[in-house]
Structure 1
């Protein structure tokens, strides 16, 4: 066993240095960040346009005192924190004809408000009136109070924590952790396939198989890709944390999971490692049977679709705790990491995670062993049909 681990570490060090110290790895690290940065930039631009520049403009054709009342009401409502943006108000002469104003290209208004505060009248296109009708009704109702209009002061009674709010926050943290682990697993596990197929094409795998046990080759490649994944995750996490501080500010905080942040982060790393090695060992078995990239894509597509179904099953189980779905998601090896990380966010118990990690590690060993036997039988053409699953590997 010690010799097998030593040989696996040699293979892992070889693959890790070959991947990490290459130019392509730099582009691999930058690749996922560029779409995110572009999405944030365009998303911020779109929200700015939607909230400010594209707001409808209401031409206020009311007497001076009533127009001033509308403006006071507008300023009072616009100062609310987190309030939805109100349509802009633009005062126009009170005797203006609404249809004539809207017919001018340089008028700069979308809808014209006329009549009085008691009976406001809106002139414009039907969809524009629908967009601003409720806002105009609210502003007119507040403006009718005149100078007596004041926002009612609210007395604050602050508490340190809310059980209901903490429960919802922990649920959000658990769902986010599930999604992040799933995306990282699907993004990074496919590299195991391409690595193995490339070495099979170059006949390097046969040289390695003659020098070390095939079990060590599979385990070493899995460990190398896992270590490479942690390098990428460290890089992306540092960039994401810096971006979060830049956008949200230093005072922003996330709801604390039930097991606490230190234990939750450790469990998240372990469950990602288990999810990655489970899927990676399955991909290794597939890559051992494929000889071309086209065959790899054909064989890996059902596994990818199945992994998406597994993720949806784990999220369904997290939304229905205490039922058969949660127990099934925890026992099924491919959904167990996603189900257990959600449980870590909502339940403070730690002993179920020790059992789950042991159960998942057992299935990793089974999948690696099955992939090795299939590789020997179909690629190296060695090993009879009576070879046992846990027979001792020979060098």
Structure 2
């Protein structure tokens, strides 16, 4: 085992150095920046559309007559200023304006509430998180002044809460979805290089020279971790450039709720689950490279794997809101969807031990795939030599 690890380290160092110090690696780093720019622009447009559709809702806990006046004032002003200028108002008939437990009502309404206005029209009180209260205090004051038909300015009293349960749940789901999207994009961009590297060395007969001196398990393991190291270098460069870009253009980082495990641990788990997703898909590509001898065969075999990866991503994305249900447990236990499902759990569940078990399970399955890939390579290339290349692809898969 120690000799295998040492040999794998030699192969990993060789491949890593050859890739990092090559001229093409610089252009590889620049490649994803162009779709990233397009993605940021499309994301901005999508966010604008979501803002137009997902209107904030403010609960109204006033006397019945004053609630009616406030709703009427909103209707009047919306005709002149546009419906999007004011939040939707939801009457709360069972909530008294002076109810001491009004903060608890934020999470118990029929719709997720941004804030609740209580008190009276003459002295309204807006209860909600600090950003929401600051954003809508002016609009509530204007609605109150219009409802009273007076010229005296209205001052809205703020009653802050840390964060509402409904908004926290929604934003944690958004954090989970963001983590899944980052994993699938990086994995699909970077994992294919494992396949091209192996096929290139098979074509040049380099792999056969290495196999004569080093165990095949060590070669495959070394290549896989060399590519993972290259991927992490690329991610580090892209992340650094991204933070610099955000700082320069002052665009700001999206306001996402803190994951249940906290941001530091969530970022560590994001790196670990990316590594496991990369190793799982990369080991599968190594098995494909062991069977393929031409570029055409590589394309034939890799396309179903890529489509399958998208399917397991869709499975994990579908189960984000179904924690604990059988379909979600299946996504957690199925190795190829497990990294995506577990990063969603990290955003919504605070228990840590489950991530240790998941990482061990994914690592074990990676080793199983590597072992199977080595068996295929020995059977199709090393043992049969040139005669294996004369067989068709289906015959080689059957051995």
> Normalised by the size of structure 2, how large is the TM-score?
0.68
State the SS of the aligned residue for 1:156: strand
Shift of 1:46: 12
CA contact (8 A) 2:191 2:278 kept: yes
Cα distance in 2 between the residues matched to 1:249 and 1:159: 27
Cα distance in 2 between the residues matched to 1:253 and 1:45: 17
Matches within 5 A, 1:14-163: 14-38=14-38, 40=40, 77=81, 154-163=156-165
Partner of 1:194: 196
Partner of 2:62: none
Shift of 1:207: 0.4
Q: 2:187 aligned to 155, 160, 185, which one? A: 185
CA contact (8 A) 2:176 2:345 kept: yes
CA offset digits 1:92-139 (Å, max 9, x no partner): xxxxxxxxxxxxxxxxxxxxxxxxxxxxxxxxxxxxxxxxxxxxxxxx
Cα distance in 1 between the residues matched to 2:377 and 2:365: 18
Name the count of aligned residue pairs: 303
Structure 2 stretches lacking a partner, 5+ long: 49-76, 88-145, 386-399
State the SS of the aligned residue for 1:161: coil
Partner of 2:206: 204
Structure 1 stretches lacking a partner, 5+ long: 49-72, 84-143, 384-395
Matching of residue 175 in structure 1 with residue 177 in structure 2: yes
State the SS of the aligned residue for 1:157: strand
Q: 1:259 aligned to 258, 261, 275, which one? A: 261
Judged with a 3 Å threshold, the aligned counterparts in structure 2 of structure 1 residues 41 and 306 are, in CA distance, closer, same or farther, namely: closer
CA offset digits 1:18-44 (Å, max 9, x no partner): 111111111111111123225546887
Supply the RMSD in Å over aligned alpha carbons: 3.4
Cα distance in 2 between the residues matched to 1:313 and 1:46: 23
Partner of 2:318: 316
Matching of residue 343 in structure 1 with residue 325 in structure 2: no
Q: 2:302 aligned to 286, 291, 300, which one? A: 300
Judged with a 3 Å threshold, the aligned counterparts in structure 2 of structure 1 residues 151 and 23 are, in CA distance, closer, same or farther, namely: farther
Name which one, 1 or 2, has greater alpha-carbon Rg: 1
Cα distance in 1 between the residues matched to 2:243 and 2:256: 12
> Normalised by the size of structure 1, how large is the TM-score?
0.69
Cα distance in 2 between the residues matched to 1:237 and 1:231: 10
Judged with a 3 Å threshold, the aligned counterparts in structure 2 of structure 1 residues 36 and 151 are, in CA distance, closer, same or farther, namely: farther
Q: 1:379 aligned to 375, 378, 381, which one? A: 381
Cα distance in 1 between the residues matched to 2:168 and 2:40: 28
Shift of 1:239: 1.8
State the SS of the aligned residue for 2:268: helix
